[in-house]
Structure 1
């Protein structure tokens, strides 16, 4: 592990990464307090009946499979001042009609001296008929609709949930609340999510969590040409009908609100900036024997030395090589591209309600050591959603297409953010070589043309980088020669096993799961095997020794 991690940890982590933890904790508290206040409390006085609550539009997945529908139900209420019989008699009559009611709780509500009280929500239509048949003056069973989520916890971080009065509290239910409740719009809303793929990804992530004893996992799969998010998984997830506020980890959408230092999967972004600014070329060679910045000595996870080609630096994930490239590009250009790629602001255009802003030093505070560490994924904390958004133009030919959870039926033009048309072609070569010769080999699938990058970042514990706790990630795209999808997946705090020979990095822990996800995707979507010739790339991994 880099000596920089241990020498620089106190100054760097306390000023930057500890802030990330505090902000994440603060967001957790805010989310929980908000949810508690909205979903658990009932107003003392009700100015509208359940019949006046909105009937929400149904949500379907991209293939028309229902995800959020409305089921007829009823809510039992009382107007105590209208009741003419003794309250205890009324309570007993109600229990006879609806045995699930509890006598003492019911009697207390009737004796509360309120003009209106809810007695029980979400009773069945049959229960409603029984209450009406009892004919108790001052007691009503009002018909309404209950939101039902067909996929249970599988899509809880995407769809979110509603309160008793059909107000959206999280996810798309909250982010698109006004549109979903619009009485003038009756058509169902098609999401970009593929619910079958969602369950495939969830299954593979849960297996990876179990295999490596990880704390959790998350993944995003998107179409790089349309910006549609087709899978968005957070594990652990939560039951939208039984919110457990004692487990905030399950409630938070780590894909959209969790900010992390991502490690080496940031390297494709720096490489792409280098190509696009003509700072580097595929034939360039760098001496990676030593790199010292200020008083800090940069080291690689697997020690390297001598002249290395751009392809070797990328495939073998050399921190020293990327550090030298970043210093050559310079602060101004890297900050400019970070802005264009969307790495400096919250992604507020997506339809879910949970967003977070990246955490990085102010531009005026950047130094050479900041630039160097950012090059290999330290010193900047972003959400997985930010990372996927930034990688899309690098993969698709240079066009930034806004991510969306809605199915797009019309082509979107996007914004050109990369100027050199060869930038993507060069990145395809590097990402492919990472799968055939580099750290992504465990995700390589013969003839399916997979490429990408792995990353591993040490987590901060009490202001210092931990030697044992890490976030291990994989970014993959396929087919590389004509990219269609980007797959991003992360394991939180995986542990090494005998099979990984003591390693818990992204290439050992997350890559095998990504391989299975891509295999199953290729079968589901009928993606034909399309071998891509590698012979012409061989010299990139084996440059002439006198080429300097």
Structure 2
């Protein structure tokens, strides 16, 4: 009996041992799982959370709104409109998705070309599809819900005044960075700083949840210019018409406020539309009023006369004999249009006598004329900060350089920009006070710096008024209802080996109104073709029309009334 029970007992013991082994292993497994769970929810929890976040949480940039550019009255000149950029992650884009063909049609892209680009860049993580699309189109793209296709919000710059203000305002590139003009000069303050936000993305890169804002976007600062858009439009229209009528190569006009030095208008031809750059001619990009140099010619003569009066050797009544209509200086012959005989200082300006100003210049200290020209801003930066502005050339002359001293007295042998020339006329209008030129609106008039003794400027202005009279060279610059004064200039263009006989620069610079000067207006027309090329025939009429419109737009009271006899004729 005992022998029979032994195998049974052994079998039962063996089974019990196996069961306990299984139980023991199960206990170890449960203990291991429990230990791992405690580890996951304890020591490893932060690590796992960070790993999960790294795969799903992303920091995205919030584009900053670029600052607004306006004219002095708040009229917008450059604004930022909301747009979007559509881009692809080719590595995660499903090329079998039927929505890709619809996407191509929305973006106005050939479907086959889109597929080929995605296949060719299948290992890349970023590829632009189309930039600066409308918000409505962006929403339509998002509605397609195609894996790997993304939409980012941004801004596009728009210029309401178009070609009228483009040389001054400039433009930005597709990334919103200033490329020309004041957009470039003030790019740092205009563009602002983008913000940041934390978002949750799915495994194919789609944003599925906005977590929180990390840093708010800091919009760019607004910029208020000194120009008056009404005057700017009017000046642009008149200059463009003159350039077209005279078939000129180019032209520029500048309007300054004599009280503050503010630029109220600055226009150029040719121009371009910054909102449509598909057919942009690079030669039209230059702001010629600040970058193109020319010899100012006879517009310098009022300063030679002013220097003579400042020397103390001359008064308005001083007589200069210009007979026989020419003068020889160191072997060079300087001529007038005809023999004007004896002229007082007013007559020299009225008749624009080269001989007269030459005799004045050579009778003074060698640097008398040059010093005055430098003091009124020629040969120096105007300080506007405009990119690419040039300083011009104002050479130092020694006493033995008699020919150069003579030619400088009537505007040859030096070069200037049109803005510099306009600035130089401000002291004549402001009784000798030089004020800095600015392209930004000023809250108060700057103190200025005296560059002429009191009384000289007003006397020269009255002399310049005779240029507009019946015996002057600038009769077409007259403005109904206002006393105006100025000076014409007709300059031979420099060419290889000297001056071209058939190419000219027509210039007129003047002040209005004479009784209480408010505006300085300078006009330059480069290489007018045809029978009319003199400054008095080409540039002076542009001055007249700009002055007439600007004085009325600014509500400047008339200071010239019809004579009583004229009133009686009008009544009859």
Q: TM-score range by the shorter chain?
A: 0.7 to 0.9
Contact 2:425–2:510 at 8 Å: present in 1 too? no
Contact 2:255–2:519 at 8 Å: present in 1 too? yes
> In the TM superposition, what are the counterparts of 1:454-493 in structure 2 within 5 Å?
454-493=488-527
Instruction: Give the aligned partner of residue 455 of structure 2.
Output: 422
> In the TM superposition, what are the counterparts of 1:1-400 in structure 2 within 5 Å?
51=61, 54-83=64-93, 85-86=94-95, 91-96=100-105, 98-103=106-111, 105-107=113-115, 109-110=117-118, 111-112=120-121, 113-182=123-192, 188-243=222-277, 247-289=281-323, 290-300=326-336, 302-347=337-382, 349-361=383-395, 363=397, 367-400=401-434
Q: Does 1:531 align with 2:566?
A: no
CA RMSD across the alignment? 2.5
Instruction: Give the aligned partner of residue 431 of structure 1.
Output: 464
Indicate how the Cα distance of structure 1 residues 53 and 361 shifts in structure 2: closer, same or farther if over 3 A, else same: farther
Contact 2:299–2:507 at 8 Å: present in 1 too? yes
Instruction: Give the aligned partner of residue 35 of structure 2.
Output: none
Give the Cα separation in 1 of the matches to 2:164 and 2:85: 28
Contact 1:170–1:352 at 8 Å: present in 2 too? no
Indicate how the Cα distance of structure 1 residues 365 and 170 shifts in structure 2: closer, same or farther if over 3 A, else same: farther
After superposition, what is the alpha-carbon deviation per residue over 1:1-29, rounded to whole angstroms, capped at 9, x for unaligned?
A: xxxxxxxxxxxxxxxxxxxxxxxxxxxxx
Give the Cα separation in 1 of the matches to 2:113 and 2:491: 53
209-218 vs 356-365, greater mean Cα deviation? 356-365
After superposition, what is the alpha-carbon deviation per residue over 1:313-350, rounded to whole angstroms, capped at 9, x for unaligned?
A: 11110111111112223332333323322212233x21
Give the Cα separation in 2 of the matches to 1:270 and 1:380: 14
Contact 1:220–1:231 at 8 Å: present in 2 too? yes
Q: Does 1:508 align with 2:516?
A: no
378-387 vs 442-451, greater mean Cα deviation? 442-451
Give the Cα separation in 1 of the matches to 2:385 and 2:65: 20
Secondary structure, in 3 states, of the residue corresponding to 2:467?
Answer: helix
Contact 1:476–1:488 at 8 Å: present in 2 too? yes
**Between Structure 1 and Structure 2, whose CA radius of gyration is higher?**
2
Indicate how the Cα distance of structure 1 residues 54 and 381 shifts in structure 2: closer, same or farther if over 3 A, else same: farther
Contact 1:157–1:234 at 8 Å: present in 2 too? yes
5+ residue gaps, structure 2, are 1-57, 194-217, 564-572
Give the Cα separation in 2 of the matches to 1:78 and 1:241: 27
Give the Cα separation in 1 of the matches to 2:278 and 2:268: 16
Contact 2:316–2:346 at 8 Å: present in 1 too? yes
Question: Alpha-carbon deviation of 1:105?
Answer: 4.8
After superposition, what is the alpha-carbon deviation per residue over 1:155-214, rounded to whole angstroms, capped at 9, x for unaligned?
A: 010100001111111111111112222456766322111111111111111221232222
Contact 1:217–1:491 at 8 Å: present in 2 too? yes
State the number of aligned residues.
Answer: 477
Give the Cα separation in 1 of the matches to 2:549 and 2:59: 48
Give the Cα separation in 1 of the matches to 2:175 and 2:249: 34
Secondary structure, in 3 states, of the residue corresponding to 2:142?
Answer: helix
Give the Cα separation in 1 of the matches to 2:372 and 2:273: 40
Give the Cα separation in 2 of the matches to 1:276 and 1:364: 20
Instruction: Give the aligned partner of residue 403 of structure 1.
Output: 437
Secondary structure, in 3 states, of the residue corresponding to 1:77?
Answer: strand
Give the Cα separation in 1 of the matches to 2:60 and 2:498: 53
Secondary structure, in 3 states, of the residue corresponding to 1:510?
Answer: helix
Question: Alpha-carbon deviation of 1:392?
Answer: 1.1
Give the Cα separation in 1 of the matches to 2:59 and 2:389: 33
After superposition, what is the alpha-carbon deviation per residue over 1:416-438, rounded to whole angstroms, capped at 9, x for unaligned?
A: 222x1011121111111111131
Q: Which has the higher strand share?
A: 2
What is the TM-score of this pair, normalised by structure 2? 0.78
69-78 vs 103-112, greater mean Cα deviation? 103-112
Contact 1:395–1:427 at 8 Å: present in 2 too? no
Indicate how the Cα distance of structure 1 residues 49 and 280 shifts in structure 2: closer, same or farther if over 3 A, else same: farther
Higher RCO (CA < 8 A, seq sep 6+)? 1
Contact 1:53–1:165 at 8 Å: present in 2 too? no
What is the TM-score of this pair, normalised by structure 1? 0.81
After superposition, what is the alpha-carbon deviation per residue over 1:408-458, rounded to whole angstroms, capped at 9, x for unaligned?
A: 11221122222x101112111111111113111111134411111111111
Give the Cα separation in 2 of the matches to 1:185 and 1:426: 51
5+ residue gaps, structure 1, are 1-47, 497-501, 535-548
After superposition, what is the alpha-carbon deviation per residue over 1:352-402, rounded to whole angstroms, capped at 9, x for unaligned?
A: 323112134455698211111111111111111111122211221122211
Secondary structure, in 3 states, of the residue corresponding to 1:518?
Answer: helix
Secondary structure, in 3 states, of the residue corresponding to 1:169?
Answer: strand
Secondary structure, in 3 states, of the residue corresponding to 1:324?
Answer: helix
Indicate how the Cα distance of structure 1 residues 325 and 90 shifts in structure 2: closer, same or farther if over 3 A, else same: farther
Question: Alpha-carbon deviation of 1:463?
Answer: 3.4
Give the Cα separation in 1 of the matches to 2:321 and 2:561: 30
Indicate how the Cα distance of structure 1 residues 334 and 307 shifts in structure 2: closer, same or farther if over 3 A, else same: same
